[in-house]
Amino acid sequence: MFKILAVVVASISIGASAVPALSQGNDPYIFDLDSPQLDVRASLGDNTDNEFLKYGYPGPVSDFLLRSRYATSFNRALRNPNWVAEHLTLANLNGTADRSNADFKEDKDIPVMFRAHLKDYYRSGFDRGHMCPAADAKKDDQAMKETFLLTNMTPQVGVGFNRNYWAYLEAFVRDLTKSFDDVYCISGPLYLPVQEDGKWYVKYQVIGNPPNVAVPTHFFKVVLVKQGSDFSLGAFALPNKAIDNSTPLTDFDVPVETVEKAAGLVFFDKLERTSVTPLCSKTKCSFK
């Protein structure tokens, strides 16, 4: 049996202030699972052939989109990606495509009523934050342009986060290709509860007129690296707010299971996790 720590949301100190973040909580508890990776892949299949769904299956629908340099699952209700997955190597990071030739665009693969729209971000106070960074897609102009689709975007605080700390984390992931053969990265938003008056609430802003796109409270990156036959895995969860550049990256290092529980996702479930070492034990988790 594997022991997995059940995680809750609490506050950790970041610089001089405390912000909601993923942590172990004050009184964590342990429960037993037959496997560290629960089987949550059961599909609907043909089970819509019944009297209850005689005239149609209402959803939810998570649009799966495969691009040149990433794959993503899009959440129609929140108008944000559920996750964006990448595979990085020294070779596939090479290229000469220039982001100045790319424009932000709505994704026509998503029905109009469920899309994020360019006007939603207009004067919202938030950046259109890449989940797959443009710098990861220099392969060619098409790959670069695909990173500017709004299905790869989510509202991020600009100064101090998207343009700074989050960008440094993106560069850290790219730099891992200098030490490892393969780097797999899955990024996405989180919507975490905050405690007020002894009760927990999930609160997030919605931008657009009318309100259309949810503003995540946090973001995650789950990173798997491979060198030969050895794998290492790590996860980082950051609040969607300005973060002081001097804050150690290890302040945001959390168990992968913590992100899985918060996001309702399972990462790299084809690997036996007990044979995978922690990422930050194999490389220095810091910005140069």
- Residues with a catalytic annotation lie at 130
* Cα atoms found within 13 Å of the Cα of residue 251, Cβ hemisphere only: 21
* Cα atoms found within 13 Å of the Cα of residue 132, Cβ hemisphere only: 32
- For residue 186, the SS3 value is strand
Among the listed residues 236, 231, 218, the one whose alpha carbon sits nearest the alpha carbon of residue 287: 236
What is the C-alpha separation between 277 and 239, in angstroms, rounded?
26
Among the listed residues 5, 19, 69, the one whose alpha carbon sits nearest the alpha carbon of residue 237: 19
Whether the CB-CB separation of 42 and 72 falls below 8 Å is answered with no
What is the C-alpha separation between 157 and 167, in angstroms, rounded?
12
Q: What would the two tokens of residue 74 be?
A: 């899009």
Q: What residues contact 193, with CB distance under 8 A and at least 6 apart?
A: 9, 20, 200, 201, 202
What is the C-alpha separation between 135 and 139, in angstroms, rounded?
10
Instruction: Give me the helices (H) in the chain, please.
Output: 118-121, 141-146, 166-175, 256-263, 279-282
Among the listed residues 184, 255, 283, the one whose alpha carbon sits nearest the alpha carbon of residue 28: 255
What is the C-alpha separation between 198 and 196, in angstroms, rounded?
5
